[in-house]
């Protein structure tokens, strides 16, 4: 493993961790607002990463994928919810499942704004270029990975947020299959990546298109560009 790969891992893992935590916090907050205190009672309505980390999904899988030169995917411990406690089951379930990706969108927007702010700070403090350039690198990664998580999670893969929303509109037999297949969500994702890489790339292309739209106006403020 070369030095640039190690640097990429050390910059990416904290960014991914915050993206995962923000996503699960969104689910927990929305569930509480819809009448379900399960996640709140489990201590998941917090940005403390320790309560959200799943060693396999949060650390091991992303690190291995980065070491192999790929795009890091993974997740945190699923947020525990009890949809039967929602004041309106269908409406509440849709809101809670969309809350995670909504948080990822908000983090991507905030990261873009901070990228711009750090660029202005770097122009005012040229001696801090080295440190601030690393901060900008991580903020750009934050935009990329939060948008990637957004588009990955709305895919109609069993266990993903998009599938949870669509199950309300599926025929009963299809919805039942999706519910039974939820524990295999990561298997379906890696099967898609491994055996239908072209289709997977096409499905996540909008994430990178949107990333470019976010970053284009602020790139003139990127430090280290002459």
In this prediction, what percent of the chain has a pLDDT beyond 70?
Answer: 98
Structure tokens at 206: 């909008």
Q: Has residue 148 got a pLDDT over 60?
A: yes
Q: Has residue 8 got a pLDDT over 90?
A: no
Residue 20 to residues 51, 117, 174, 203, 216, Cα–Cα distance (Å): 12, 24, 28, 20, 25
Give the integer Cα–Cα distance in Å for 33 and 211: 30
Q: Has residue 226 got a pLDDT over 50?
A: no
Which pLDDT value is given to residue 82? 97
Which pLDDT value is given to residue 4? 78
Mean pLDDT over 108-118 rounds to 97
Which pLDDT value is given to residue 28? 98
Which pLDDT value is given to residue 224? 63
Helix axes 129-153, 89-124, angle to 10 degrees: 160
100 or 62, which is more confident: 100
């Amino acid at each position: 493993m070369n030095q640039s790969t190690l640097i990429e891992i050390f910059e990416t893992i904290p960014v991914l961790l915050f993206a995962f935590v923000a996503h699960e916090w969104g689910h927990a907050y929305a569930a509480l607002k819809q009448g379900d205190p399960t996640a709140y009672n489990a201590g998941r309505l917090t940005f403390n990463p320790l309560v959200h980390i799943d060693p396999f999904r949060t650390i091991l899988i992303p690190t291995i994928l980065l070491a192999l030169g790929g795009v890091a995917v993974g997740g945190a411990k699923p947020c525990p919810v009890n949809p039967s406690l929602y004041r309106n089951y269908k409406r509440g379930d849709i809101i809670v499942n969309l809350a995670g990706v909504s948080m990822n969108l908000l983090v991507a927007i905030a990261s873009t704004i901070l990228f711009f702010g750090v660029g202005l700070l770097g122009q005012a403090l040229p001696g801090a270029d080295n440190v601030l350039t690393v901060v900008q690198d991580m903020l750009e990664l934050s935009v990329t990975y939060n948008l990637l998580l957004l588009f990955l999670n709305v895919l109609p893969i069993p266990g993903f947020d998009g599938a949870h929303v669509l199950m309300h509109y599926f025929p009963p037999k299809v919805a039942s299959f999706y519910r039974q297949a939820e524990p295999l969500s990561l298997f379906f994702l890696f099967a898609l990546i491994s055996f239908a890489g072209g289709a997977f790339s096409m499905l996540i292309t909008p994430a990178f298109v949107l990333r470019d739209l976010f970053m284009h106006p602020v790139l003139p403020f990127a430090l280290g560009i002459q």
